[in-house]
Amino acid sequence: MKRISALWGNVLKQEAKDRSIAAILSRIPVFSSLSKAELRLIEKIVYLRNYQQNEVIFIEGEPGAGMYIIESGKVRICLGPHADEEHEIALLEPGDFFGELALIDDHPRSATAAAIMPTRLVGFFRSDLISIINRNPQMGVKIQENIMQILVRRLRITDQRLSDVCDELRAYQEKLEAESKAGEKE
C-alpha cells in the first residue's frame, strides 16, 4: 500500500452522512467551529466546479488560489506534473479536502491534482478568506485558527515521521558499523 503524504493525505477524515453543501462544509476542519449562520454565509461564497474524468484541477508549480472539498467523485494527488498512478501520493474521496495551504499565500502548488472520474468540487479561495477577514473578523479569526490547527497537526505528523526515519537511519547506521566491525575481526 502506498504511503499517504502528511501534506496531501486527509489526516482528519470523518464519516460522511449528509451530502448538502453546508453539511459537507461543517465536516471540514477549516469550517468545523463555525455556527450554522456562518456556514450559510460560507455556502454563498464558495464556488462549485465540475471536472470531467482525467481533467487536471491544478498542477505542481502553479500559484495556488485556495482549497477544494470533494462533493462527489475522486481526485488523485500526484508528485510532479504527471497525474498518473505511478506518481500518486494520495487518492481522495467525497468529503476529503486538499490545497488548504493556498489559503495562506500564493506559494506554488506542491503537487498536481486531477479528477479520475466526473467530479464536483467545492472551492474556497484566499481572496474570499481575505474578504471575510475584512468584513467579519470574528468569523475570519475562527477560520484562520482552524487552518492553524490543521497546519500544526500536519507539522506534528511530519515531525513524527521525520523522527521515525531518523530512528530507522540510526538503527541502519549501527547495523552497518556492527557489520564492518565484525568484518574487521574476521
Partner 1 sequence: MLITDRRKEMPLIFKPAFKLSVLAVLAVLLIGVLLWIQGLLSSFLIAIILVFILSPAVDYFERRGITRSSAILIVLFLILILIVSLALYTSNAIIGEYEDFADQLDFYSSMLNDEIHRRIAELEGKFGLDRYEAGPRLLNLIQSKLKQAFLFTGATFGTIIFWIAAVPLMLFFFLLDGYRIKRALIGFLPNRYFEMSLNIHQKISHIVGSFIRAKLIESVVVGLCALAGFFVVGLVFKPLNYAFFLAILVGLFNIIPYLGPLIGTIPVLLVAIVQYVLLPQFPEFSAAAASSWAPVFAIVGVLVFAQVVDNVYLIPVVLGRSVNVHPLIVLLSVILGFEILGITGMIISIPLASIVQTLIFEVADGIKSLRH
3-state secondary structure of 12: coil
The three-state (H, E, C) secondary structure of 80-141, written as one string: CCCCCHHHEEEEECCCCEECHHHHCCCCECCCEEEECCCEEEEEEEHHHHHHHHHHCHHHHH
Furthest-apart CA pair in the chain: how many Å?
A: 76
* Rounded Cα gap, residues 160 and 87, in angstroms: 24
**Residue 61 interacting with partner 1 (CB under 8 A):** yes
Of residues 2 and 82, the one with the C-beta less far from partner 1: 82
**Residue 66 interacting with partner 1 (CB under 8 A):** yes
**Residue 144 interacting with partner 1 (CB under 8 A):** no
| Strands 56-58 and 88-92, sheet pairing | unpaired
Of residues 126 and 153, the one with the C-beta less far from partner 1: 126
Please report, as residue ranges, which positions from 148 to 177 form the binding site for partner 1 (by CB under 8 A): none
CB 9 within 8 A of CB 90: yes
Q: Figure out which of the listed residues 28, 67, 70, 114 binds partner 1, where binding follows CB under 8 A.
A: 114
Of residues 131 and 163, the one with the C-beta less far from partner 1: 131
**Residue 9 interacting with partner 1 (CB under 8 A):** no
Please report, as residue ranges, which positions from 31 to 60 form the binding site for partner 1 (by CB under 8 A): 45, 47, 49-60
Per CB under 8 A, residues contacting partner 1 are 45, 47, 49-66, 81-84, 106, 112, 114, 116, 125-127, 130-131, 134-137
